[in-house]
Amino acid sequence: MVASRPDLRIEALAPHHDRNGFSCGIDSLDRYFKTQAAQDVRRKANGVFVLTEPERPDVVLGYYTLCATALAQGDVPAAARKHVPRYPLVSATLVGRLAVSETRQGERLGAMLLADAVRRTHASAATVGSSMLVVDAINERAAAFYEANGFVRLPESLRLVLPMHVIKGLVEP
């Protein structure tokens, strides 16, 4: 997992963050961040976390969202089934969106955001209940990014999962 950098910080989206100045080059991700993210935070529909530099705390370098979700038992990969309860729906945490500013792509900031999402998911799992982290990749390139970071792709889809027992091994010494 990527280490955090002292020259960057990840924090909850706040009013001082410049949402209109952010662009990752994918219209749906840009539009969400500019028009919907603050409402989702107010309504507690998503947690939205932004990456900034301490000397320019209003400039957003990247963001991701987290929310609760559930998977049908049959959608859980076979290797992970022994680690999750046998309920019809398995509780999980969803990384709904993850984006990095066009001007900062290629600096592994996406991996840093994902590592933060993994740590937050693990920290909240005992309180909220979550058996895995789920992502719905926006395209094949994004799916490859998640696979390179340990996620397992569900058959014939852009949905990938990282079981909590794997996450535990990543974040606990």
Residue 114: half-sphere exposure toward Cβ, Cα within 13 Å:
26
Residue 172, token pair as written in the block:
């606990």
117 and 95 Cβ atoms separated by less than 8 Å? yes
Tell how many helices (H) and how many strands (E) occur in the chain: 6, 7
pLDDT band of 126, cuts 50, 70, 90: confident
Helix (H, G, I), strand (E, B) or coil at 110: helix
* Structural domains of the chain sorted by starting position, each given as residue range(s) with its CATH number in brackets: 9-171 (3.40.630.30)
Percentage with pLDDT > 70 across the chain: 88
**Mapping DSSP to helix (H, G, I), strand (E, B) and coil, where does residue 138 land?**
coil
pLDDT for res 1: 60
